[in-house]
Amino acid sequence: MTQSMPLTTVCIVDDDVQVRRYLVDVLASIGLATLEFSSGEDFMRRWRPGETGCVLLDIRMPRITGPEIHDWLRQRSPQVPVIFLSGYADVPTAVRAMRLGAFDVIEKPFNVQHLIERVNTALHLAEERRAAETNSASSWRQSLTPREQDILSAIISGKRNKLIAAELGISERTVESHRASIMAKAKAHSAAELVAMAVGQAPAS
């Protein structure tokens, strides 16, 4: 079932169903929407950019670990704050997570008030980042040439370089060059992030 997530949605990624239900109840008590993910694979399959306030991410999970999911998310939406949940005295992993940009690490069992405070602070940070992106978004769209605007529209539509080249009557290498220029102007780390940035705003006039 597809769920529409408000921008304050907190994604909970933990393989322990009791932990997930506890976090859902705690966050619901302060009016926050949540979305549960039972594994890293589940999160990677169902997560959508531009709709998440922050992520509560278990460090230790089978198959795909929390740090691996964090790395994956940073490639797609680096502005989303991640709070790691640790049930172990895993100091090296926690330190690595913070160095790689995690917002915080909270140990289990949770101090409820501390958890709420950190989630609220992360959500405020996410909103500040989103506002900053919105303020700078129009400038990069307006800096695109007419040809780059055409290619961006094609990228948003999911078209591959070969098809874009055929439709515009240019070489595939030229498409690649324009595409690289668009990515640089948008400061996007991936095509997925570029599309998320573009569809989150109205086209430049």
Domains (ranges, CATH) in the chain? 9-135 (3.40.50.2300), 143-199 (1.10.10.10)
Q: What is the pLDDT of residues 143-160, one digit of tens each?
A: 899 999 999 999 999 999
DSSP secondary structure, 85-111, as one string:
EESS--HHHHHHHHHTT-SEEEESSP-
Q: What is the mean pLDDT of the chain?
A: 87
Average pLDDT over residues 16-35: 95
Q: Is the pLDDT of residue 17 over 90?
A: yes
Residue 109: CA atoms inside 13 Å, Cβ hemisphere, count? 2
10 Å CB burial of residue 157 (0-12, 13-18, 19+) is exposed
User: Does residue 80 or residue 133 have the better pLDDT?
Assistant: 80
Rounded distance, CA 46 to CA 48, Å?
A: 6
Name the band, by pLDDT with cuts 50, 70 and 90, for residue 86.
Answer: confident
pLDDT for the residue numbered 10? 96
pLDDT for the residue numbered 135? 65
pLDDT for the residue numbered 2? 40
Which amino acid type is present at position 115? Answer: L
Average pLDDT over residues 153-172: 93
Average pLDDT over residues 5-29: 90
pLDDT for the residue numbered 82? 95
pLDDT for the residue numbered 14? 96
Q: What is the pTM of this model?
A: 0.65
Instruction: Answer yes or no: are the C-beta atoms of 182 and 151 closer than 8 Å.
Output: yes
pLDDT for the residue numbered 139? 77
Lowest mean pLDDT among 14-18, 39-43, 185-189: 185-189
